[in-house]
């Protein structure tokens, strides 16, 4: 006999089982997702702490490296070490060393001869001791500034050693200077506030031995087991005063340190304590030390696990409650089913449908006969429509998910600019809620640009049906002004008609403020450099002219070198000031009628000696019908000087440079061609950017600041001209400038606020 189960029983069992299974699955999924998300967050946080600690300790070390270097360059030290029999603990030199450490940051500052013997020291116990076996002595006596950490064999105190060679004027190393930094300066620096109670900050040397740690019980332990040769090397150097170095469980971290370049974050399983630790580490630049940050993974995931457990219990209880509610509802539903069956049967008989019976042994078996007949009648008519609806719904959900998750401010408007949709980022950026934005227009936070700007924008997107991109100034709901990078694109039908617009904005206020700060700094620094450079040039000319007395050939040679270096510095300062004027929009031009050929000839006259020295032929091709053009002669001179000096500088000996000036279709066209090194194809897109120099140019001519072509393009853009080039590496380049005739009108370049 076939078992018959009522609909009520089936539905209750189905709801309870489904809810319970779904709850278990959701709890498992939530546990894994939460664990992964929390782990990623803590790893990123660990990386941030590593970077902060690295920068702090790097600053302390850099100061000490500079301290040792500065002392090694002082004349009393050099003179003392050149003596044939220098007096130990010379009072004058001792006072000099003592005064140099005015802040008392160092345990000792001392001077050693070439054999490693300490001659003068602020710690008298060091005098007469030979430390030639120390790494800091070996490194410095070979000519390198060296950093090391060890327990002092004389003082018995741990410290950081910074050594630097002392060189005689001939370049010979006559001894070294050593500064032993107090341990507590690094101890104070190695105290990150952002670690948990289980977290630890460790400073290790190149062998993986802990030399500083937040938890002091880890001092002078190794991250992993040390090889015999390393232990032997540590013993020979008397690095840690005979301390028995115990190995910890960080073997994987120790292996990573050996080849560490960039900072790293990863998970290490602690077999000793059966737990995962999150590890971040980085090398302290220019030192043999590494910063290691550890966090206990379980410390952060326990709370999430408890929350998930609570959620599982809640789902279980909810499933039981749902079963009770469903039972009560089904009592109200089952009774009308038979009446519904009778009604549907009458309808089916009326249209002559053939019923399809589904054998379920319950009330649905009766109803299915009626529903099957009805479904057969509408299936063909609505099948295609249903498929399309599902496809559209799926596409819409994907679109909505992508837009809502975007960090950029996104809105959709109708053809008149009324807002139909705004994502979460739009609320965060403007300060207005969606309800305030929907039905309104973007002028709610806009209207900060000139009228002409908005006219151009609407013409582009509405009439030309083209995308529009610009940097704009807007105002948040709280009145705060901010700057955005804006993209607007029309939404077009299949026939090309615009139905609305989508606008995307990104807040670039912080980026713009940073750019302005950098530009202001360059401008101020460049202005401040002008006065001392002028003084240097004046004194060099006065000395060269022998106004203060005769000079010999060697002195004249040095003065010439100073003059060349000063001229190069003046050129750099002028370039930086030009860049500053361009970036701040204060580039001012004073156009006047001028012959381009006269300006070009003047520039070539200046560069003629350089061209003759390298045996480069310079060809001129000037059209006779050019006449004058309204340009700022000084600006145009800068343009031609940059192009011609580049052409000569990057053309090998016996090459050629050609300058052409002619009129084409109502425009003045200037062409500068060379047979030089050319520009690599993969770098041509960057040629007009600030401070950029092609790789082959750097190799051939190390001197240069990468500002010439950026300034040139900015000037040409300022006068409404164009500049472009064609170049083949190894064959040469051709730069082409076009200027509108009759020329420019006097103006000052003032950029719109963006």
Residue 129 vs residues 88, 126, 140: alpha-carbon distances, Å = 11, 6, 17
Is residue 642 within 8 Å of 636, Cβ to Cβ? no
The yes/no answer on whether domain 406-504 falls in CATH 3.30.450.20 is yes
Q: How far apart are CA 215 and CA 532, in angstroms?
A: 52
Q: Mark the ranges of the chain whose per-residue pLDDT is less than 50.
A: 339-340, 343, 346-348, 350-353, 355, 381-382, 389, 750-754
Q: How far apart are CA 459 and CA 438, in angstroms?
A: 24
Domain at 588-748: CATH code: 3.30.565.10
Radius of gyration of the chain (CA): 40
pLDDT reported for residue 395: 62
Q: How far apart are CA 460 and CA 466, in angstroms?
A: 6
Q: How far apart are CA 741 and CA 591, in angstroms?
A: 13
Q: Is the pTM of this model over 0.75?
A: no
Q: How far apart are CA 537 and CA 545, in angstroms?
A: 12
Is residue 686 within 8 Å of 692, Cβ to Cβ? yes
Is residue 401 within 8 Å of 376, Cβ to Cβ? no
Nearest to 590 by CA among 722, 751, 749: 749
H-helix or E-strand spanning residue 492: strand 481-492
DSSP per-residue letters across 259-273: T--S-EEEEEEETTT
pLDDT reported for residue 404: 81
Nearest to 448 by CA among 470, 426, 431: 470
Q: In this structure, how many other beta carbons lie within 10 angstroms of the beta carbon of residue 517? A: 10
pLDDT tens digits for 606-630?
Answer: 888 889 988 999 999 998 888 888 8
pLDDT reported for residue 691: 77
Cis peptide preceding 332, ω within 30 of 0: no
Tokens 């070979």, residue located: 142
Q: In this structure, how many other beta carbons lie within 10 angstroms of the beta carbon of residue 216? A: 9
- Beta strand 290-296 with 409-414: parallel, antiparallel or unpaired? unpaired
Q: How far apart are CA 591 and CA 632, in angstroms?
A: 4
Nearest to 117 by CA among 181, 174, 75, 65: 174
Cis peptide preceding 742, ω within 30 of 0: yes
Is residue 661 within 8 Å of 670, Cβ to Cβ? yes
Residue 450 neighbours by CB under 8 Å, 6+ apart: 752
Q: What does residue 279 show for φ and ψ, rounded to 5 degrees? A: -120, 135
Is residue 609 within 8 Å of 638, Cβ to Cβ? no
- Can you read off the two tokens belonging to residue 118? 């300490």
Q: In this structure, how many other beta carbons lie within 10 angstroms of the beta carbon of residue 218? A: 16
Is residue 258 within 8 Å of 36, Cβ to Cβ? no
The DSSP letter of residue 461 is I
Nearest to 297 by CA among 34, 14, 542: 34
pLDDT reported for residue 284: 87
Burial of 16 (0-12, 13-18, 19+ CB in 10 A): middle
The DSSP letter of residue 684 is G
Is residue 177 within 8 Å of 278, Cβ to Cβ? no
Q: How far apart are CA 466 and CA 456, in angstroms?
A: 11
What is the per-residue burial (b if ≥16 Cβ within 10 Å, else e) of 456-494? ebeebbbeeeeebebbbbbbeeeeeebbbbbbbebeeee
The angle, 0 to 180 degrees and rounded to 10, between the axes of the packed helices 633-649 and 708-718 is: 150
Domain at 187-300: CATH code: 3.30.450.20
Q: How far apart are CA 233 and CA 138, in angstroms?
A: 14
Residue 485 neighbours by CB under 8 Å, 6+ apart: 469, 471, 505, 506, 508
- Would you give the end-to-end CA distance of the chain in angstroms? 83
Q: How far apart are CA 493 and CA 498, in angstroms?
A: 6
Residue 360 vs residues 4, 335, 662: alpha-carbon distances, Å = 8, 18, 94
Q: What does residue 604 show for φ and ψ, rounded to 5 degrees? A: -70, -30
Nearest to 441 by CA among 424, 463, 458, 460: 458
Contacts 24+ apart (CB under 8 A), 681-688: 681/729, 684/725, 684/727, 687/725, 688/712, 688/713, 688/723
H-helix or E-strand spanning residue 295: strand 290-296
Q: How far is CA 22 from the centre of its chain?
A: 43
Q: How far is CA 504 from the centre of its chain?
A: 23
The DSSP letter of residue 463 is I
- Can you read off the two tokens belonging to residue 33? 């997702």
- Beta strand 656-664 with 617-622: parallel, antiparallel or unpaired? parallel
- Can you read off the two tokens belonging to residue 210? 């802990």
Strand, coil or helix: what is 609? helix
The DSSP letter of residue 740 is E
pLDDT reported for residue 296: 77
pLDDT reported for residue 716: 86
Q: How far apart are CA 72 and CA 552, in angstroms?
A: 31
Is residue 751 within 8 Å of 481, Cβ to Cβ? no
Q: What angle do CA 126, 128, 131 make, to 5 degrees?
A: 70
Q: What angle do CA 405, 411, 415 make, to 5 degrees?
A: 150
What is the per-residue burial (b if ≥16 Cβ within 10 Å, else e) of 266-290? eebeeeeeeebbbbbbbbbeebbbb
Q: How far apart are CA 38 and CA 297, in angstroms?
A: 9
Beta sheet of 118-121, edge-to-edge order = 118-121, 106-113, 173-182, 158-167, 146-151
Q: In this structure, how many other beta carbons lie within 10 angstroms of the beta carbon of residue 291? A: 27
pLDDT reported for residue 350: 46
């Amino acid at each position: 006999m076939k078992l018959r189960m009522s609909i009520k029983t089936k539905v209750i069992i189905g709801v309870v089982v489904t809810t319970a299974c779904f709850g278990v699955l959701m709890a498992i999924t939530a546990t894994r997702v939460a664990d992964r998300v929390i782990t990623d967050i803590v790893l990123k946080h660990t990386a941030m702490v590593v970077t902060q600690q690295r920068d702090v300790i790097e600053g302390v070390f850099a100061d000490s490296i500079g301290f040792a270097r500065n002392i090694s360059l002082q004349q009393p030290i050099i003179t003392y070490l050149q003596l044939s029999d220098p007096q130990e603990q010379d009072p004058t030199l001792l006072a000099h060393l003592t005064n140099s450490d005015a802040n008392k940051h160092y345990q000792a500052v001392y001077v050693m001869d070439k054999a490693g013997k300490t001659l003068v020291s602020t710690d008298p116990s060091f005098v007469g001791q030979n430390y030639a076996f120390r790494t800091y002595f070996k490194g410095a006596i070979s000519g390198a500034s060296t950093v090391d950490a060890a327990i002092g064999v004389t003082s018995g105190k741990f410290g950081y050693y910074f050594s630097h060679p002392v060189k005689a004027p001939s370049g010979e190393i006559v001894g070294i200077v050593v500064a032993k930094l107090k341990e507590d300066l690094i101890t104070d620096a190695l105290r990150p506030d952002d670690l948990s109670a289980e977290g630890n900050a460790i400073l290790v040397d190149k062998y993986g031995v802990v030399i500083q740690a937040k938890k002091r019980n880890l001092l002078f332990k190794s991250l992993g087991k040390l090889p015999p040769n390393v232990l032997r090397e540590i013993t020979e150097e008397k690095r840690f005063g005979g301390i028995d170095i115990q190995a910890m469980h960080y073997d994987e971290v120790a292996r990573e340190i050996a080849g560490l370049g960039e900072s790293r974050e990863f998970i290490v399983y602690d077999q000793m304590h059966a737990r995962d630790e999150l590890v971040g580490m980085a090398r302290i630049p220019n030192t043999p030390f590494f910063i290691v940050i550890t966090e206990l993974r379980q410390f952060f995931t326990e709370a999430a696990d408890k929350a998930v457990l609570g959620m599982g219990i809640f789902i279980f209880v909810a499933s039981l409650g749902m079963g009770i509610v469903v039972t009560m509802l089904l009592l109200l539903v089952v009774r009308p089913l038979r009446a519904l069956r009778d009604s549907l049967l009458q309808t089916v008989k009326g249209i002559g449908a053939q019923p399809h019976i589904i054998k379920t042994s319950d009330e649905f078996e009766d109803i299915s006969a009626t529903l099957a007949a009805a479904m057969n009648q509408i299936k063909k008519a609505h099948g295609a429509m249903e498929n399309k609806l599902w496809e559209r719904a799926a596409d819409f959900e994907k679109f909505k998910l992508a837009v809502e998750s975007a960090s950029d401010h996104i809105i959709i408007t109708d053809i008149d600019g009324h807002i139909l949709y705004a994502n979460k980022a739009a609320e965060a950026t403007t300060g207005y809620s969606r309800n305030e934005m929907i039905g309104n227009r973007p002028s709610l936070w806009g209207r900060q640009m000139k009228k002409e700007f908005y006219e151009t924008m609407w013409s582009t997107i509405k009439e030309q049906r083209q995308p529009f991109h610009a940097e704009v100034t807007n105002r948040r709901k709280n009145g705060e002004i901010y700057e955005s990078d804006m993209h607007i694109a029309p939404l077009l039908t299949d026939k090309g008609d615009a139905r609305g617009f989508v606008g995307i904005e990104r807040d670039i206020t912080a980026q713009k403020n940073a750019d302005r700060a950098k530009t202001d700094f360059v401008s101020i620094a460049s202005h401040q450099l002008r006065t001392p450079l002028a003084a240097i040039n004046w004194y060099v000319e006065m000395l060269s002219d022998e106004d203060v007395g005769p000079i010999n050939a060697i002195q004249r040679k040095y003065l010439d070198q100073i003059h060349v270096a000063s001229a190069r510095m003046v050129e750099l300062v002028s370039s930086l000031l030009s860049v500053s004027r361009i970036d701040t929009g204060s580039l001012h031009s004073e156009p006047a009628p001028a012959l381009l050929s006269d300006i070009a000839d003047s520039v070539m006259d200046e560069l003629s000696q350089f061209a003759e020295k390298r045996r480069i032929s310079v060809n001129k091709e000037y059209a006779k019908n050019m006449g004058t053009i309204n340009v700022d002669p000084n600006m145009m001179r800068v343009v031609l000087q940059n192009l011609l000096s580049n052409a000569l500088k990057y053309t090998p000996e016996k090459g050629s440079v050609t300058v052409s000036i002619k009129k084409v279709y109502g425009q003045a066209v200037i062409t500068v061609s060379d047979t030089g090194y050319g520009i690599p194809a993969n770098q041509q897109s960057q040629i007009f950017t600030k401070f950029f120099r092609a790789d082959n140019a750097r190799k051939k001519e190390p001197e240069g600041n990468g500002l010439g072509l950026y300034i040139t393009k900015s000037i040409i853009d300022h006068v409404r001209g164009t500049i472009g080039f064609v170049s083949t590496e190894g064959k040469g380049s051709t730069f082409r400038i076009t200027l509108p005739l009759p020329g420019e009108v006097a103006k000052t370049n003032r950029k719109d606020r963006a």
